Amino acid sequence: MIVKDSVSGFLLPKRRKMFVQMKLSRIVFSEINNQQVIYLREVEGIREFYILIGVFEASCIDRRVKGIPQQRPLTHDLVCHVCNELGGKMQDILISRLEDQTYFAQIRIQQGEKLVEIDARPSDAIAIAVSCRPLLPILVKEEVLRQSLLSQQP
């Protein structure tokens, strides 16, 4: 059943999950204003939002997505390797909060029976998600996705 969301006005399935799986849909590099933008799109839907990120993170993400090999491990590769060597298993990344136009994220690591959440900038978390093998799921809290869509409306 489809209903109109009271906050955003979007037509949504009646039952929504608490977390929405997203995929990286595009990366935009702007030389004019030195801003890099990544767009995340809902895996099982049409909603999309963007996050402004730094040039280093955008370049790392872009190279990983394009499969460009690196001579030496980059910081995001190092995080994945350290986690694995210490017996952890990267589970996913979660964009959990939007506050004053700033996004907050966690890298979620399974360590035995325990789930460890490490605070991270979304750009670093996404760079890690595309650096790990297999790729990590990118999750966004439903509430954050709704706030993003409202704040990014023209």
pLDDT for 96-118, tens place per residue? Answer: 999 998 999 999 999 888 899 99
Delineate the domains of the chain, giving CATH numbers in brackets. Answer: 2-151 (3.10.690.10)
- Cβ proximity of 11 and 20 under 8 Å: no
Verdict on whether the full-model pTM lies above 0.85: no
3-state DSSP helix/strand/coil percent for the chain, to nearest 5?
Answer: 30, 40, 30
pLDDT of residue 33: 76
Beta strands (DSSP E) in 54-148 are: 89-99, 102-111, 114-120, 138-141
pLDDT for 43-94, tens place per residue? Answer: 999 999 999 998 888 988 999 889 888 888 888 888 988 998 999 999 999 9
Amino acid identity, residue 19? F
